Amino acid sequence: MATPDISSLTSASEVFAPSHTLPQIRAIHKTIHAELNEKAARLRSQVGGSYRELLGTADAIVRMRAGNDEVQGVLAGMGARCGRGVVWGKVNGMGNFVGGSGEDRGPVTLGEGGLGTGEMARLQLLEACTLTASRVLRGGDVGGGLGRMGSGDRLVLATKLLILARLLIKSFGDRVEDEQARAALEAAEKSRLALRRKLSKCVERVLERCGEESDRGHILKALAAYSLATNSGARDSLKHFLAVREKAMRLALETLLDVQAVAPSNLSDALASLKKRALLADSTIQKLEVLRLDICERWCGEDVQFFTPFIRHDDLDGKQAKEMLTAWADTGKGIVISGLERVLGTMSEFKGIVELRTRVLQLWIGDGARARGFDPSEMLDRLRRAINARLLAVLEVKVGKLHLVGSEVAATLNSWREGVTDAQESLWDEDTYDMDLSNGVAAFLQNVMSRMYGRNDAVSKAVNCYASWRHVIDDVDGVVEHLKKQRWDDDIEDLEDDDVIEARQEALSKDDPAALRERLDVTLEKAFKALEQRLAALWAEREGGADSGPMAMFLVRVLRDVRTALPKMESLGGFGLEMVPSLHGKMAREVVVAPVDEFVAGPLARRTVVGRALWEGSPEMPSVPTPGMFMFLRDLSKGMGAAGMDLWSPAAVRVLKGLVSTQICEAWREALGGLTEAGEKSGDGEDKGEEGSQAEKDGEETSTKDDEEQTDDGEKPKAELGSDAKGEATGNALTGEQRDLLLQWFFDVSYFRCCFEPADGSKEWKSLADAVYERAELGDDALRERLAKSSEEYWKRTSLLFGLLA
């Protein structure tokens, strides 16, 4: 349904007429509200625009009032200055100023003595000259369009101002009656002298500067300023330039290029340009408004107004300049080399020396060929010799510091405290797991590795000392490789021949690194040989001491860590190996003594078989070693672990097994001999019968017991080794217990043989086993093979219990 036209609706009753539906009424309401909002917005815009126009009108009125006030003030001032009395006073003052004297135009006086207008003008000009010269030397803006002057132009301008100040001071003469004028002249003279010294320093700074081609223009202007200030000719100016550059060693090459660029023609032209016009007529002086030359110039005398600098500009020709430069170059090169040596003498780091070498050689190679009339290769060789000599000297000092490792080891051995210096922290201590891991696990891993490899405080000090030294040597290796990779053939301007470039590359990137590497190898070999001799001497002094065992362990750890990080040189492969067997022997003796003594005094001294009831087979034979053997191996393994698992390399284990084999076999032979003597004595008299009866009873009991055990299997009881021993003991003086002991010993010896017999075919254990078996008088090879095989099988099953001995 269409929305009714609201323009025809004049009252609310028409809106809510019965003919209008509810949607139509809502549409009428919405339309009326839209029209109301539109008219309100239009009204606000009209009111706002009118208000802004009103504010603009008010601001214009305020500005007009302020302008009117300014105009009235200017007109009032003009009226005051244009009065009759004021104009007449100005006319009289101007007349006095122009006339300078007379009854109606008397001179303006200053102080009691009285100065004329000319003197006052010169004093004012003098003060302006000193102030302006100071501002020019400081780099300040002096006006007159001279704010962007270069350093050389400023020096020339300051020199002209100081000369003008000198002329003004001289114009007053020696007699100045006025005290204030005399004080002003003295102050001006002091300021001039101070500015002259400052000018000299500024000139030297500009002359010492080197850089781009644009700097040579400043150098030329600085030489002109020096010549103007000192009234020197071109020859003397060039001498001064060379003297200044002689003090600045780093500028030798730039000096050659600069002198060839400025002398003789450019310098002569610059000096001649200073003589073309009078000083006050110079354009730069005229542009200085602060001097007020339009007023003060007329009061200067002719000696000031027409002063023209007179300096010789034609006293230097090309031949003289070349001779002076050649003489200076010979001296300058020596000074450069000596200065370079002094600088190198203060440097002790390889990287710093190599960086200096790179900069110096690049500077000389880049610009040396540009200097006409000079051979750059001669100076290059001198620079190389000076730098290489310092590199080799520093190399020897750095490598020589390896003796600090020996000093650290000696200090540790001299201050050795048993139980303190050799104290080792267990890998399984609880404090290891209480470490703070918030910053990562690096510290935790380092602690674990230190404990695993026995690096206590004493070992860590020596190892860290060596690690620091090794880091320095690695830097040297890196420097040598860097020198080999450097390229020196960047001849952009194509000033050199290819042969010259190749020869230089060969010398700098091959010969120098090769010489450095050769000296490094020789020095390293000497240093490690000296360290090895020092360590061997320290060990020889303490080898027989009470603490020689822990000291040997300490030295083994130090040697191991040092050998792990040896430089890659074949000649150093045998470092420390000569003293290792002695250290291993002492270390093994320290670990072996207690277990061997306990074994000899305990299980080996026992004359009865422990575990006889565990024998197996037919006939019965031992199948396990005695508990004493097992306890000995366990104590030996515990001793090795307590000393440190990191110590037991294959070589150290071989030494320990050899020592154990020697001591155990010797003790066992003595025990076997003692058993033999006891058996011979037991065969005499009644003791022999009693022992035979007792052996017979034991044999019968054993036989009965074995028969009962074998009845369950349906086997027929047999007379065992005990019964045979009875008969044999009667004839061979061996009792049953002795025969059983010998059989158990043979098994134990075979068991030890599996553990301790070396792979090189040593017959020590084999001869002991043969002696034991022969003493047992069994005479059956099958039984022997059975016992040997049984012991081998048992060792295979139990060897992992003794990990370090396996």
For residue range 599-612, what is the model confidence (pLDDT) as tens digits? 888 888 888 888 88
Whether residue 87 lies inside any domain: the answer is no
Do 550 and 594 lie in a common domain? no
Average pLDDT of the segment spanning 26-37: 86
**Domain C-terminal end among 524, 556, 578:** 578
pLDDT at 692: 40
Do 154 and 37 lie in a common domain? no
pLDDT at 186: 84
Residue 175 pLDDT level (bands cut at 50, 70, 90): low
Q: Which residue has the higher pLDDT, 246 or 165?
A: 165
Whether residue 290 lies inside any domain: the answer is yes
Do 723 and 586 lie in a common domain? yes
**Domain C-terminal end among 284, 315, 346:** 315
Q: What is the pLDDT of residues 93-113, one digit of tens each?
A: 766 665 543 333 333 333 444
pLDDT at 497: 64
- 376 upstream amide cis, omega within 30 of 0: no
Whether pTM > 0.75 for this model: the answer is no
Model confidence at 704: pLDDT above 70: no
Q: Which residue matches tokens 């440097």?
A: 347
pLDDT at 152: 79
For residues 437 and 640, give the distance between their C-alpha atoms in angstroms, rounded to a whole number: 32
Model confidence at 61: pLDDT above 90: yes
Q: What percent of the chain is modeled with pLDDT above 90?
A: 4
Mean pLDDT is lowest, of 51-65, 678-692, 762-776, for 678-692
Cα-trace Rg, the chain: 57
Whether residue 331 lies inside any domain: the answer is no
Do 601 and 520 lie in a common domain? no
Q: What is the pLDDT of residues 261-317, one digit of tens each?
A: 666 566 667 777 776 777 777 777 777 777 777 777 777 777 777 777 766 666 566
Q: Which of 136-150, 291-305, 535-549, 756-770 has maximum average pLDDT?
A: 535-549
Whether residue 77 lies inside any domain: the answer is no
Q: What is the pLDDT of residues 361-402, one digit of tens each?
A: 877 776 655 555 556 677 788 888 888 898 889 888 888 889
Q: For residue 251, give Cα distances in angstroms to 186, 367, 690.
A: 40, 12, 116
Do 729 and 654 lie in a common domain? yes
Do 415 and 492 lie in a common domain? yes
Residue 694 pLDDT level (bands cut at 50, 70, 90): very low
Overall number of domains in the chain:
4
For residues 124 and 118, give the distance between their C-alpha atoms in angstroms, rounded to a whole number: 10
* Contact (Cβ atoms closer than 8 angstroms) between residue 362 and residue 374: no
Within 13 Å and on the Cβ side, how many CA atoms surround 493?
A: 7
Model confidence at 51: pLDDT above 70: yes
pLDDT at 711: 36
For residues 259 and 701, give the distance between their C-alpha atoms in angstroms, rounded to a whole number: 124
Do 301 and 378 lie in a common domain? no
Mean pLDDT is lowest, of 62-76, 156-170, 329-343, 425-439, for 425-439
Whether residue 328 lies inside any domain: the answer is no
Model confidence at 802: pLDDT above 80: yes
Do 455 and 473 lie in a common domain? yes
Do 614 and 743 lie in a common domain? yes
pLDDT at 99: 52
Model confidence at 717: pLDDT above 60: no
Q: In the chain, what is the straight-line distance between the N-terminal and C-terminal CA atoms, in Å?
A: 109
For residues 231 and 290, give the distance between their C-alpha atoms in angstroms, rounded to a whole number: 27
* Segments in 577-625 forming alpha helices (H): 580-601
Model confidence at 432: pLDDT above 50: yes
Whether residue 486 lies inside any domain: the answer is yes
Whether residue 662 lies inside any domain: the answer is yes
Do 532 and 611 lie in a common domain? no
Q: What percent of the chain is modeled with pLDDT above 70?
A: 76
Residue 693 pLDDT level (bands cut at 50, 70, 90): very low
Do 599 and 733 lie in a common domain? yes
pLDDT at 699: 41
Whether residue 26 lies inside any domain: the answer is yes
Mean pLDDT estimate for the chain: 76
For residues 223 and 380, give the distance between their C-alpha atoms in angstroms, rounded to a whole number: 30
* Contact (Cβ atoms closer than 8 angstroms) between residue 558 and residue 453: no
Mean pLDDT is lowest, of 188-192, 246-250, 429-433, 479-483, for 246-250
Residue 64 pLDDT level (bands cut at 50, 70, 90): very high
- The number of beta carbons lying within 10 Å of the beta carbon of residue 62 is 10
Do 517 and 624 lie in a common domain? no
Model confidence at 586: pLDDT above 80: yes
**Domain C-terminal end among 578, 593, 610:** 578
Range of the domain at 600: 582-802
